[in-house]
A and B are shown apart, each in its own frame.
Chain A
Amino acid sequence: EAGVAQSPRYKIIEKRQSVAFWCNPISGHATLYWYQQILGQGPKLLIQFQNNGVVDDSQLPKDRFSAERLKGVDSTLKIQPAKLEDSAVYLCASSLDLKPIRDEQFFGPGTRLTVL
């Protein structure tokens, strides 16, 4: 079974530039998550999709971050414009069920973003 794919793996940009990350979840997984993990902290949920609908985006800085999951499959997360404090690893995860209260999350390798 193929895992969660993410690209790029690393990205360095200057502040005020824009950046986009891509995630392809495990085939058939209904729920997709984007997390931000700042060095020394645990993953913080940014947005959660069930199929292509947003379930929770309460911690997404909507003035600069956006995300979509077209056709309920792969997803993109965009930052525009980036700030220094956005430097972090961005993790994508997926789980099988629409109501994943017992589901394991499968994580991708992450994208390490450095904002200079």
Chain B
Amino acid sequence: AQSVSQHNHHVILSEAASLELGCNYSYGGTVNLFWYVQYPGQHLQLLLKYFSGDPLVKGIKGFEAEFIKSKFSFNLRKPSVQWSDTAEYFCAVILTSGTYKYIFGTGTRLKVLA
């Protein structure tokens, strides 16, 4: 069965530290990839997405992610986090055939200390 794994469930960083959140998926076919974020008290919202082309994609608020097809990975990065990045981050894939089902990872809860 298709699945998405996020290995870090909780991450605590100090402001200005660099961030990398891991995401791996298991599916042999073509997928499109997303990162969503949920800030405290807010709705889930899109951070960035990858469909094709340059495997390094840039999103909002200085986030970027790199798709490595051979590793089935789509890791999220930010060079220098801010207190306002405290949130829960979800990786998601959508299968590009069949019913176009979205599959979410279990999420990583990031806390940035001021």
Chain A interfacial positions (CB closer than 8 Å to B)? 3-4, 33, 35, 40-45, 48, 55-56, 91, 93, 99-102, 104-105, 107-110
Contacts and interface: CB of A to CB of B under 8 A. Distances in A.
Interface stretch (B14-22, B70-78, B103-111): B103-111
B27 interface: no
Given A93-B44, A104-B46, A105-B46, 11 more contacts: A3-B43, A4-B43, A42-B6, A42-B106, A43-B44, A45-B103, A56-B99, A102-B32, A102-B49, A107-B43, A107-B44
A101 B45 contact: no
Contacts, number: 55
A60 B44 CA distance: 22
Is chain B's interface secondary structure helix, strand, loop, or mixed overall? strand
B90 interface: yes
B83 interface: no
Interface string B85-107: 00000101010100111111111
16 contacts: A33-B102, A41-B106, A41-B107, A42-B104, A44-B104, A48-B99, A56-B101, A101-B94, A101-B96, A102-B32, A102-B49, A102-B51, A105-B102, A107-B45, A108-B43, A109-B43
Q: How large is the interface on B (under 10, 10 to 19, 20 to 34, 35 or more residues)?
A: 20 to 34
Contacts of B96: 101
Nearest to B88: A42
Q: Which residue, B43, B104, B105, has most C-beta atoms of chain A within 10 A?
A: B43
Given A33-B102, A42-B106, A91 B44 contact: yes
B4 interface: yes
Contacts of A107: 43-45
Contacts of A40: 9, 106
Contact of B32 (A4, A41, A101, A109): A101
Given A41-B106, A107-B43, A48 B49 contact: no
Contact of B107 (A4, A35, A42, A100): A42
Contact of A42 (B43, B46, B90): B90
B94 A42 contact: no
